[in-house]
């Protein structure tokens, strides 16, 4: 069976019952409950998790005394490459599941699918094809970069594809592309609409310690170039960790400049610049109890669900701040700092961290979302995830509003100023376009 290309069909039927579809070759198969933690997610996420389970069924119930993988294998990028097909042009139910108010694809739902696809690809790469060894636990460590190159319409078919492009000792980088297929029968074309890079880390499923992963051998010139670029990004990430102390240890002038205008807001609000706004006045927040329907194959809350919720809060924050419909541009960075469990009380807090006016026709709104796992009974709160998104304003919305303006965001505290500088410095070290 070919697991490299997965065609998606919309479905609202229970996976535990026989499917009414006449063309479903597995219609009489009643799937065990353990295979369907994602039944409440998108059809793509559900299909990916089913595919992952079929390929590696031992992941669901490994022998208790199974030893770890004894010998690392060498795999090629093509061995992990997986493609998802969205038949929007013929499946109107699937199209409606992904449609947003602007007749484009809902980015939040796409984030869930991207995370599920990246996870499936990393599992493919790390399998040793030996049912007698215990499987690795693969955890999303971060999303290094995600760039929307063009708007994604639901009127045309869509393809999502990706592969492992780099590995370290216990880390893996997966690159994904979302490709819009042409709706013109006479001129069939493919356009890359979005690119994303996910970083996974491997853990021993018994000890929880970092575990080595299979090696990667790029074959084509393109694969070798992607590997080289990913290696450079890995070195850059290490450098950024070392340089994060730079803001703490110095550059007091930059901090003072950022804080100067904020102090006027706090001390002399009547004299403050009306084209600026305090960071704290851009904040939004929501809370939820994490439910079993939001878990992944490992029983933890699905990272794609967290990104989906963070994106929608960030979008709302940008909307309330600008006063016009935002247009998503990038996921600048996501860190998965600790797992989130079923039953956890999760609080998502957002703010506009800073704005940019380098291009007057496309001002940028940089939004931070921080997720906290809160335990009222222990009077504790821990950061589980940090998300950074960039938006601008939709051109048609701006054209219909002559009084449109984006305010400058200023910090009121030194802690806020440090967060702004750290994020600005991180963004300046990474080019806006990447492979």
Q: Report pLDDT digits (tens) over 414-434.
A: 889 988 988 888 777 655 444
Please indicate, yes or no, whether residues 258 and 388 belong to a single structural domain of this protein.
yes
Instruction: Over range 391-407, report the average pLDDT.
Output: 76
Please indicate, yes or no, whether residues 312 and 232 belong to a single structural domain of this protein.
no
pLDDT category at 186 given cuts 50, 70, 90 is low
pLDDT at 184 over 80: no
For residue 253, being part of any structural domain is answered with: yes
Please indicate, yes or no, whether residues 249 and 382 belong to a single structural domain of this protein.
yes
- Are 45 and 52 spatial neighbours (Cβ–Cβ below 8 Å)? no
96 Cβ contact partners less than 8 Å away, ≥ 6 residues apart: none
Please indicate, yes or no, whether residues 320 and 372 belong to a single structural domain of this protein.
yes
For residue 106, being part of any structural domain is answered with: yes
- Are 232 and 171 spatial neighbours (Cβ–Cβ below 8 Å)? no
> Is the CA virtual torsion 157, 54, 174, 11 positive or negative?
positive
State the residue for tokens 């102090």. Answer: 263
Please indicate, yes or no, whether residues 184 and 257 belong to a single structural domain of this protein.
no
pLDDT of residue 27: 44
Please indicate, yes or no, whether residues 175 and 283 belong to a single structural domain of this protein.
no
pLDDT at 25 over 60: no
d(CA 319, CA 213): 42
Q: Which two tokens stand for residue 180?
A: 């819009």
pLDDT of residue 17: 46
- Are 383 and 336 spatial neighbours (Cβ–Cβ below 8 Å)? no
For residue 396, being part of any structural domain is answered with: yes
415 Cβ contact partners less than 8 Å away, ≥ 6 residues apart: none
| pLDDT 10s digits, 117-158 | 999 899 889 887 666 677 788 888 999 889 999 999 999 999
- Number of structural domains the chain divides into: 2
Please indicate, yes or no, whether residues 214 and 349 belong to a single structural domain of this protein.
no
Please indicate, yes or no, whether residues 194 and 270 belong to a single structural domain of this protein.
no
Pairing outcome for strands 284-289 and 364-375? unpaired
44 Cβ contact partners less than 8 Å away, ≥ 6 residues apart: 8, 84, 86, 112, 113, 116, 117, 160
67 Cβ contact partners less than 8 Å away, ≥ 6 residues apart: 132, 133, 134
190, 215, 242 — which closes off a domain? 242
For residue 43, being part of any structural domain is answered with: yes
Average pLDDT along the chain: 82
d(CA 229, CA 37): 36
Please indicate, yes or no, whether residues 276 and 141 belong to a single structural domain of this protein.
no
Please indicate, yes or no, whether residues 147 and 273 belong to a single structural domain of this protein.
no
pLDDT of residue 146: 94
For residue 435, being part of any structural domain is answered with: no
Q: What is the DSSP-derived secondary structure letter of residue 218? A: -
Domain at 375, CATH number:
3.10.129.10
204, 226, 242 — which closes off a domain? 242
242, 266, 282 — which closes off a domain? 242
d(CA 56, CA 123): 9
Its domain, for residue 193, covers 5-242
pLDDT at 369 over 70: yes
For residue 104, being part of any structural domain is answered with: yes
For residue 434, being part of any structural domain is answered with: no
For residue 31, being part of any structural domain is answered with: yes
Pairing outcome for strands 5-8 and 82-86? parallel
Look up the pTM and report it: 0.83
241 Cβ contact partners less than 8 Å away, ≥ 6 residues apart: none
> Is the CA virtual torsion 241, 331, 182, 96 positive or negative?
positive
Please indicate, yes or no, whether residues 340 and 386 belong to a single structural domain of this protein.
yes
Helices then strands, each counted (H, E), the chain: 10, 15
d(CA 178, CA 191): 9
Please indicate, yes or no, whether residues 182 and 277 belong to a single structural domain of this protein.
no
């Amino acid at each position: 069976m070919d697991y490299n290309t997965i065609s998606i069909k919309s479905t609202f039927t229970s996976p535990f019952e026989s499917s009414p579809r006449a063309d479903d070759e597995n219609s009489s198969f009643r799937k065990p409950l353990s295979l369907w933690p994602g039944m409440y997610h998108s059809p793509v996420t559900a299909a990916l998790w089913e595919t992952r389970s079929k390929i590696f069924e031992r992941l669901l119930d490994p022998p208790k005394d199974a030893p770890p993988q004894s010998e690392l294998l060498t795999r090629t990028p093509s061995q992990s490459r997986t493609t998802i097909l969205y038949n929007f042009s013929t499946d109107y139910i699937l199209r409606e599941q992904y449609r947003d108010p602007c007749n484009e694809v809902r980015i939040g739902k796409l984030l869930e699918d991207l995370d599920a696809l990246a996870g499936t690809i990393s599992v493919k790469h790390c399998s040793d094809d030996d049912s007698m060894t215990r499987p690795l636990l693969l955890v999303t460590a971060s999303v290094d970069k995600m760039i929307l190159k063009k708007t994604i319409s639901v009127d045309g078919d869509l393809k999502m594809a990706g592969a492992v492009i780099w590995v370290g000792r216990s880390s893996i980088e997966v690159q994904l592309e979302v490709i819009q297929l042409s709706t013109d029968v006479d001129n069939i074309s493919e356009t890359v609409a979005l690119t994303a890079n996910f970083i996974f880390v491997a853990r021993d499923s018994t000890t929880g310690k970092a575990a080595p992963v299979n090696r990667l051998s790029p074959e084509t010139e393109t694969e070798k170039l992607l590997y080289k670029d990913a290696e450079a990004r890995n070195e850059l990430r290490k450098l950024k960790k070392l340089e994060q102390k730079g803001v703490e240890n110095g550059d007091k002038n930059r901090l003072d400049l950022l804080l100067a205008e904020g102090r006027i807001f706090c001390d002399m609000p009547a004299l403050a610049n009306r084209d600026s706004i305090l960071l704290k006045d851009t904040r939004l927040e929501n809370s939820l109890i994490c439910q079993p329907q939001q878990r992944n194959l490992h029983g933890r809350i699905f990272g794609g669900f967290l990104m989906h919720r963070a994106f929608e809060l960030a979008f709302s924050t940008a909307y309330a701040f600008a006063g016009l419909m935002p247009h998503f541009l990038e996921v600048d960075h996501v860190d998965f700092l600790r797992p989130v469990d079923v039953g956890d009380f999760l609080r998502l807090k957002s703010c506009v961290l800073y704005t940019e006016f380098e291009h007057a026709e496309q001002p940028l709104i940089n939004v931070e979302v921080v997720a906290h796992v809160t335990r009222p009974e222990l009077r504790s709160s821990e950061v589980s995830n940090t998300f950074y998104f960039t938006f601008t304003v939709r051109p048609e919305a701006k054209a219909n509003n002559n009084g449109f303006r984006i305010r400058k965001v200023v910090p009121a505290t030194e802690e806020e100023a440090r967060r702004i500088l750290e994020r600005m410095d991180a963004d300046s070290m990474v080019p806006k376009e990447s492979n």
